[in-house]
Structure 1
Amino acid sequence: MARVLFFIALIIAAASAFVAPASNAVSSPAFARTSAPKMTEVVMDVDMISTFAQNANVIATSSGDFGGAFYPVAGLTLLGALILYLSPPLADE
């Protein structure tokens, strides 16, 4: 009985993760009118481009970060082992 109640509570908790929270905050209007940027004001200088390149390199990660390929390989192996465990061979009739 406790397992059934736990399973029902788990389903309710998982379903509640997809419900949008009610917010009483005042928000801005959905469509705010703004003026279009003028092309004369949009100028990219060398400093801005180099700053962007440096920030992009900070965000990017290499294949060796976070354990490399260990976690994907281990996860797929465990998933395959679970599938093999849950699907025993069919019995001869």
Structure 2
Amino acid sequence: MSTVVAPRTDEPRRALRALGALVALTVAGLALTTDAAVAAASARGVAVVGIGLALVKVRIVLTEFVGLRDLPRVRRWFDAWLVVVGVALVVMVVA
């Protein structure tokens, strides 16, 4: 028999903060594509920062909207997966 868990009272605020963070990270990623940003840094540097922003966005979505916040063991596996994927992507860009 399953039990029904009442939603937390801070859920709407958490979701709104997460959405705001996702929008801010998206705008930051968009700013990286401007000519000034590419001229100020190398293309590889911009790509590495873009990968980092994308991985942070993935973690926010997984923890806040997929529900991994309440599953610490699964969240640790996904965090490890994000590190492996992030390192692999950075190595591919830099190499």
* Same fold (TM > 0.5): no
Q: TM-score range by the shorter chain?
A: under 0.3
TM-score computed with the length of structure 1 as normaliser: 0.26
TM-score computed with the length of structure 2 as normaliser: 0.26
